[in-house]
Every structure is written in structure tokens, then in C-alpha cells.
Amino acid sequence: MKLLAGNSNRTLAEAVASHLDLPLTKAQVKRFADNEVWVTIDENVRGEDVFVIQSTSYPANDNLMELLICIDALKRASARRITAVMPYFGYARQDRKTGGRTPISAKLVANLITRAGADRVLTMDLHSGQIQGFFDIPTDNLLSAPILAADIKDNHKKTSELMIVSPDVGGVVRALAVATRLNAELAIVDKRRSGPGKSEVANIIGDVAGRRCILFDDMIDGGGTLTNAAQALIDNGAADVSAYVTHGVLSGAAVERVNASILKELVMTDSISPPDRASDGGKIRYVSCDKLIGEAIRRIANEESVSKLFD
């Protein structure tokens, strides 16, 4: 098999390649003067099983086009099978019509990837599980729960004092999976959205008084949901609040908002390349998902079970 990396998260791609003891395929992914994407594969890939590692994070449209053009280049170079490895799947929040005359952009992106020539998709912690059904090709959705639960065990020795908290009702299943692994109790924040990117905490479901709470979510964008939930938990008597998140989108002033918040710590995977301002000694810490993605790639290449990674 061969590994091809786009520009969205080169560090993660190199770590995955190191885990698999494989070199990254030589290729050029550049821009013309007008910012059009230009791709050249500098190795023979005829008959190869190729994995393209590319998150469609900011700038989402540029990184998505890179992925599509890499897939097209591989298809025209007669690769036997092409797997789009997308640690972070952009446009995942647009998975349904939220009103009249609105798009379902996640479905559109799924169609684009399929029509470009991908034979399989490997991603992690989709915002909505039903997005797997948007693809007409095999799609594996990895779970970050084992990685993050292991980090919680390592850094929070007295797990009996922990309370895993879902920051909204939609994330209950995700938070419950971690709570079950840690044998911890679960609480839920009843969140109400007043507009795009704006949320308010209406209620806390569960007794968090005196507990060390850990908010668990699939992504953090502007940071308002997590920081508001953390403040509400403290107001309801929680001893302290940390947060564990899979995808650190961190748009706008999110980093500054987190560092100024009541949160003790924010831990994320490196599915999205960390922004420079997130590593300035604040409250943000990263754990790598390279081994999880690398092992999933190895199992797909060897036609082994991927789901057994989470047994």
C-alpha cells in the first residue's frame, strides 16, 4: 500500500506513516498563481492500494479540493483502490435541512468524494452517524473514545469522583460510551440554541455538586457551548471542569475564550492541525490519534476487521 498526504495536516500524516513504517508517497500538491490546486504524483501507483490522508478543516474548501484532485490524479494513474482518510470530515454539521430552501451539504460532499473516484472512506467521530449512509461506498467511522478515555485515566487517577457530561442532548451516546469505559456517572447539559454559533444553558440533568466534571464532545468551534456549559456546571456546585473533544476547529477567538474560561483544561486529538496560538502555554493540550488511524489503515489494507479496534 501507499500513503499520500495533502497539506491540511502534514504532521499527522507523517506520524501515521511512521507508525506503519512506510514512507509518504512522493507528490507535489501546490497552487497556481490564481490559487487553483495542482497535483502531481511522483511515484508509480499503478495497481496500488493508496490511502489519501487529508482533513477537510480550515480552509475547508481548499482542503476539500486538494482531496478531490488527489483522488482524481490517483484514479487516472490506475491505482487499484483509493481510500480517502479524513480524520476530520468538514461540512458534517450540515447533515439535514434546517429550514426551507437550505442545502444538505454533507451529502453533497459525500457525492463529490465518490464521483472523484474514492473506493472507501475512513474518518473519525462524525458529527452525525447517519452521514455514513450518505456514501454509496464503504465508510468506516473511527471512535476517539479509547484514546481520550485512556488519557482521562492517566491524568485523573480517582475516576470514582468523575462525572462525564454531555454538553447537549445530541451528544449523549458519545459521552455515554466514555462514561461506560471509565465506569463513571453521566450528566447532561440542556442546551438551547438562539442562533448559529450561539447557545444558552437551560438546565443541568444530574447531580454534579462536588464532582470533578469532564465535558465530552465531538468538536469545538467557537468555544461558546463548552465554556458556557463549564460555567453552568460550576454554578451548580461542580468542583472543577475539564473538557475532552475530538476535533479542535477553534475558529475566531476560540483559543482566547477557552483560556479565559473556567475550564481547567481542554484536551483534543490532532485530527485537525493545531493552530499556532493553541500552543502558547494556555489550557489546551493535544493527544495524537496517529496510532488509531494507522492501525485502521493497516487493517483495511490487510482486509481485517476495523470494528475490533473498539471491542
Looking at the annotation, which residues are catalytic?
191
Cell of 305: 476487521
First to last CA, the chain: 26
Q: Are 264 and 240 in contact (CB under 8 A)?
A: yes
